[in-house]
Amino acid sequence: MNNTAKLNPKKLVIASRESALAMWQAKHIQARLQALYPNCDVQILGMTTTGDQILDKPLASIGGKGLFIKELENALLDGSADLAVHSMKDVPMNMPEGFTLVATGERENPHDAFVSNDYKSLVDLPQGSIVGTSSLRRQSQIQARFPHLKIESLRGNVQTRLRKLDEGQYAAIILAAAGLIRLELGDRISSFISAEDSIPAVGQGALGIEIKEDRTDLIEILAPLNHTDTENCVTAERAFSRALAGSCTVPLGAHATIENTSSKDNAIQHEVIKGKTINITGFVASVDGTQMLRETMSGNAKDADLLGKALAGKLVQKGANIILDALDGVK
């Protein structure tokens, strides 16, 4: 008998944005919960957020990541929803008071995707080609590696962005691979962009489950949704970003991976002790990519938060605060 057998929630309501990708995420969690609790009525409350409504300005200039979750949190506050499902890259690094992330869903491909109808990769784009992205993180890295390309803002849901590409407004656009794969649009991906060329956003490809902090009755119910390896990687990435005051207004990224390790301890008669190691690479840059600092560290997965902070500390030692202070000056 599984551990969820003794739990018997009668009804659960999931708050979600109404975009196709957000609804895929909500339905994915709905299906997981229905499988865990067959007698539970699991509903989805679709909502339009401020971030979905303001599409004519870069996200960094209108308030950042919190615009995608505020209305969902209001639904948690007034009791019309029990949990909210987010793309982890949209979740602010510091959760608002009274809310908590209770589970991190398994990660899809975390990399950026290069999408074009005419070219295979960034390397193939001719001088002056227009590349669409709304992300300062992507912009800074592309400008650093490919200064001959022109970056223009691209907002809207996945389908809107693809339509703008198809209309010829851009030679190529950069999207999160996870979103395209989840929407069964993987055939639109011309190539995956390696972390060498574009370190992904913090939390990219992972799902976050948010509840009101005082809803302790939900913790055990939602615990099976947590994917420990993903949680540890995202914890390290978010700690790195938090330590550098990361938001949509700061071009930074972090990519953590996890691997099994084993070591022998002579004190325990050579018994093999298995553990997990996190490898994390992070960067911070000026918007135009002319200044960029990048570092990699490894450490035990159980120390994920400390590892992320330590990586941020290494970048600060190399001068990250100078880049960040300059960014503050132009906001």
Helix (H, G, I), strand (E, B) or coil at 143: helix
d(Cα 89, Cα 327) in Å, to the nearest integer? 21
- Determine which one of 52, 90, 197, 229 is catalytic: 90
What is the dihedral angle through the alpha carbons of 236, 240, 245, 249, rounded to the nearest 10 degrees? -90
Q: What angle do CA 162, 119, 169 make, to 5 degrees?
A: 40
Q: Are strands 172-176 and 130-132 parallel, antiparallel or unpaired?
A: parallel
* Cα-Cα-Cα-Cα dihedral sign, residues 156, 147, 122, 293: negative
Per-residue confidence in pLDDT tens, the chain, 331 aa: 456 657 889 999 999 999 899 999 999 999 999 999 999 999 999 987 655 555 455 544 444 555 668 889 999 999 999 999 999 988 989 999 999 999 999 999 999 999 999 999 999 999 999 999 988 899 999 999 999 999 999 988 899 999 999 999 999 999 999 999 999 999 999 999 999 889 999 999 999 999 999 999 999 999 999 999 999 999 999 999 999 975 557 899 999 999 887 554 444 333 344 589 999 999 999 988 899 999 999 999 999 999 999 999 999 999 998 888 887 655 4
Helix (H, G, I), strand (E, B) or coil at 212: strand
- Where do the structural domains in the chain lie, given as residue ranges? 11-105+206-226, 112-193, 233-330
Domain 11-105+206-226 has CATH 3.40.190.10: yes
Q: Count CA atoms closer than 13 A to 210's CA, side-chain side.
A: 29
What is the dihedral angle through the alpha carbons of 199, 202, 204, 207, rounded to the nearest 10 degrees? 160
The CATH code belonging to domain 233-330 is 3.30.160.40
Residue 112 appears among annotated catalytic residues: no
Which CATH topology does 112-193 take? D-Maltodextrin-Binding Protein; domain 2 (3.40.190)
The predicted model scores a pTM of: 0.88
